């Protein structure tokens, strides 16, 4: 106990001693283990970034337009030859799909992993995981293969996700080709930089963002498994896009033909001020700049044809070579802080229910992995074919808007 108390005092977290004194021995042991796993130096650095002025985020950084290819403006011959490269690669068993499902889905507010949300589409309602499973099976039939399917979960939702798949018999997908892996966690910090405790007297932890995927794939043996299976190209998509096209041979063929290690699908921004991240080059490296960081005049800037210079939205449809994933897994991606509402137990044992943002959560973003390459192949798709996000309970990017897009795409 003394050693732990010393660590806590040295790191300005001595309030945790009070919780340790309150709980029974089993709980105490568990809490001590959790505390021992904390990288306090990292936490200190993260806390210092929390209050960073967002307006200064791109100070001194050169932001430039990055070229893209419009899928529907490709000449027929070119389209066909690119498509063939993609199809041949998929048929040769060199392609795999990853679904990122480790998020908390706080905005949607569904009780359970986001993939277990049922979307009331026609002709019958389907779970988000089911939509993905069925789409992949359609691709499997088309190419006469079985795509290895990896699903990233968090410690918070892993058990429920696996149970859900078991309960639904993997929606007919061959079980030996579905692999779950957990992503990492980080503690939530109060506005004063103190680690919070949850209702079970555990550290209040949260998944550390979808950029956690690179190191998690390495740590959990996913990259090794891919190598063993002969996989060379990996599509990584979000669980919450009802029109996610996981197997576009044009994106794959284009990236291979361009001799790039990374590729990504975009759709053009609905308007200059849509709240989405857009592709750009930051200091000459491919990047995504968040809408909060893009100065207004740049958001509105157009080329001579009237196209927005920063108009290609990042829609979480990313393609990586295995080599690229291995390379990024060795890097330390930056963390971004988000000011969020978090309920917690105070030092007197009372539950504090947050009514406004009161804590910092730290997340790495998948697109920060682009920074380790000189170029990226960006393929502009179409919103009505590629993007039906489910983020909010109602209004923009909600089940209601996703249902409309889904039904209209499938002509239901």
**Which residues contribute to the site for ligand UTP (CB under 6 A)?**
100-107, 114, 152, 183, 207-210, 212, 238-240, 316, 363, 391
Query: Residues 364-395, buried b or exposed e (16+ Cβ, 10 A)?
Result: bbbbbbbbbbebbbbbbbeeebbbbbbbeeee
Strands 312-321 and 262-268: antiparallel
C-alpha span between 147 and 97 (Å, rounded):
7
User: What's the CA gap between 407 and 120, in Å, rounded?
Assistant: 10
Q: Minimum CB separation from ligand UTP for residue 90, in Å?
A: 23
Closest to ligand UTP by CB, 23 or 338: 338
Please, which residue, 63 or 132, has the CB nearer to ligand UTP?
A: 132
For the packed helices 128-143 and 76-91, what is the interaxial angle rounded to 10 degrees? 100
Please state the closest distance from residue 71 (CB atom) to ligand UTP, in A.
Answer: 23
Compute the least distance from the CB of residue 261 to ligand UTP, in Å: 21
Based on CB atoms, which residue is closest to ligand UTP, 19 or 156?
Answer: 156
| Shortest distance, position 61 Cβ to ligand UTP, whole Å | 23
Compare residues 189 and 254 and give the one whose CB is closer to ligand UTP: 189
Closer residue to ligand UTP (CB): 82 or 133: 133
Q: By C-beta, is 208 or 261 nearer to ligand UTP? A: 208
CA dist 319 and 253 (Å) reads: 11
Instruction: Give the nearest residue (CB) to ligand UTP.
Output: 103
Per the listing, tokens 């995927």 go with 213
> 240 or 248, CB closer to ligand UTP?
240
Q: Cα–Cα distances in Å, from 25 out to 221, 334, 337?
A: 34, 37, 34
Residue 104 CB, shortest distance to ligand UTP, in Å, is 4
CB 26, min distance to ligand UTP, A: 29
Nearer to ligand UTP by Cβ, of 183 and 255: the residue is 183
* CB-count burial class (<10 Å; 0-12, 13-18, 19+) for 296: exposed
Nearer residue to ligand UTP within complex by CB, 261 or 363: 363
How many beta carbons lie within 10 A of that of residue 330, not counting itself? Answer: 10
Minimum distance of ligand UTP from residue 208's CB (angstroms) = 6
User: Could you tell me the smallest distance in angstroms from the CB atom of residue 207 to ligand UTP?
Assistant: 3
* CB nearer to ligand UTP: pick between 277 and 286: 277
**CA dihedral over 294, 299, 304, 305, signed as positive or negative:** positive
Among 255, 292, 270, residue whose Cα is nearest residue 55 = 292
Q: Which residues pair with 336 in a beta bridge?
A: 363
β-bridge pairing 351-352 and 278-282: unpaired
């Amino acid at each position: 106990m003394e050693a732990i108390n010393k660590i806590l005092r040295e790191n300005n977290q001595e309030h945790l001693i009070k919780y340790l004194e309150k709980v029974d021995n089993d709980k105490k042991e568990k809490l001590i283990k959790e505390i021992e796993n904390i990288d306090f130096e990292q936490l200190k650095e993260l806390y210092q970034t929390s209050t960073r002025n967002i307006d200064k985020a791109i100070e001194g950084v050169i932001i430039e337009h990055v070229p893209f290819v419009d899928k529907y403006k490709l000449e027929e011959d070119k389209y066909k030859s690119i498509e063939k490269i993609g199809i041949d690669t998929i048929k040769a068993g060199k392609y795999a799909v990853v679904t990122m499902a480790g998020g908390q889905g706080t905005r949607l507010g569904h009780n359970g992993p986001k993939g277990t949300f049922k979307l009331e589409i026609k002709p019958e309602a389907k779970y988000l995981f089911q939509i993905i499973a069925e789409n992949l099976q359609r691709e499997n039939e088309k190419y006469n293969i079985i795509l290895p399917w990896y699903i990233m979960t968090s410690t918070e939702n892993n058990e429920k996700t696996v149970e859900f798949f078991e309960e639904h018999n993997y929606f007919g997908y061959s079980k030996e080709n579905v692999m779950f892996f957990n992503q990492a966690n980080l503690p939530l910090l109060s506005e004063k930089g103190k680690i919070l405790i949850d209702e079970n007297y555990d550290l209040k932890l949260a998944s550390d963002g979808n950029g956690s995927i690179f190191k998690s794939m390495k740590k959990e043996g996913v990259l090794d498994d891919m190598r063993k299976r002969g996989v060379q190209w990996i599509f990584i998509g979000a669980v919450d896009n009802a029109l996610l096209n996981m197997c576009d041979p044009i994106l794959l063929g284009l990236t291979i033909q361009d001799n790039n290690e990374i590729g990504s699908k975009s759709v053009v921004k609905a308007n200059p001020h849509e709240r989405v991240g857009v592709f750009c080059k930051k200091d000459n490296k491919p990047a995504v700049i968040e809408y909060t960081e893009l100065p207004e005049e740049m958001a509105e800037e157009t080329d001579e044809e009237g196209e927005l210079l920063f108009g290609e939205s990042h829609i979480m449809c990313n393609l990586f070579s295995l080599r690229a994933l291995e390379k990024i897994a060795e890097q330390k991606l930056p963390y971004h802080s988000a000011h969020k509402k978090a309920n917690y137990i105070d030092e007197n044992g009372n539950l504090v229910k947050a009514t406004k943002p009161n804590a910092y959560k730290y997340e790495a973003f998948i697109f920060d992995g682009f920074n380790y390459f000189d170029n990226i192949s960006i393929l502009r798709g179409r919103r009505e074919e590629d993007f039906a996000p489910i983020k909010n309970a109602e209004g923009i990017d909600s089940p209601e808007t996703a249902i409309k897009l889904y039904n209209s795409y499938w002509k239901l």
